[in-house]
């Protein structure tokens, strides 16, 4: 099972920071076991959300140069309160250092001004073809899928775009129909 723990990327300051949100829903399967009768987002998944946010910033900075971005190290991770269903976790990662194969971030997850998780993470990045050149097509396929997902995360859902789309002027069309008979009326559509 793959966990996508970023629902939307709301802000990108290229090469510096990224802000994303995770909307926790009771429909998420892992909540049935964590914990029965008291569903909360597991701390490791809050850390994974920070990792995913950092990975998106790296991809944005490097124009998707690497197919794989993974968590290498998590340091000084501290947890605040519980993240319950119906809440929105706002995740922010700030770039600390960007080396040839590793990137360090300071990250935090906040709800209503209260810190839920914070710490430093180091992400490692590479391509599968680095060790096996025949995997170049696999890298390309992964990157293409990530580009599509990033575009979706950046612009939000179709419904959200429709809600913020400026209204177009309405036009009325008047159709003339015969003055006698069963269709004897004027039809207006908007």
Burial 142-179 (b: 16+ CB within 10 A, else e): bbeebeeebeebeeeeeeeeeeeeeeeeeeeeeeeeee
Q: For this structure, is 66 an active site residue?
A: no
Q: Of the listed 34, 66, 98, 136, which one is catalytic?
A: 34
* Rounded mean pLDDT for each run of 10 residues along the chain, 190 residues in total: 86 97 93 90 96 98 98 97 94 98 98 97 98 98 97 75 47 45 45
Tokens of 165: 């789309």
Domains in the chain (CATH in brackets) are 8-189 (3.10.129.10)
* pTM value > 0.85: no
pLDDT at 157: 55
């Amino acid at each position: 099972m793959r966990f996508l723990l970023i629902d939307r990327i709301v802000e990108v300051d290229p090469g510096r920071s990224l802000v994303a949100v995770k909307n926790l829903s009771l429909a998420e399967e892992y909540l049935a076991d964590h914990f029965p009768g008291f569903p909360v987002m597991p701390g490791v998944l809050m850390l994974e959300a920070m990792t995913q946010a950092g990975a998106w910033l790296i991809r944005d900075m490097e124009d998707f140069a690497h197919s794989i971005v993974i968590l290498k190290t998590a340091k000084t991770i501290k947890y605040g309160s519980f993240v319950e269903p119906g809440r929105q976790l706002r995740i922010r990662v700030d770039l600390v250092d960007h080396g040839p194969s590793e990137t360090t971030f300071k990250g935090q997850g906040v709800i209503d001004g209260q810190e839920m998780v914070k710490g430093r993470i180091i992400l490692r990045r590479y391509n599968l073809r680095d060790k096996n050149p025949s995997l170049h097509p696999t890298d390309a396929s992964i990157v293409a899928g990530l580009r599509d997902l990033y575009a979706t995360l950046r612009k939000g859902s179709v419904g959200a775009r429709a809600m913020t789309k400026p209204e177009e002027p309405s036009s009325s069309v008047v159709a003339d129909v015969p003055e006698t008979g069963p269709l004897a009326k004027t039809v207006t559509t908007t």
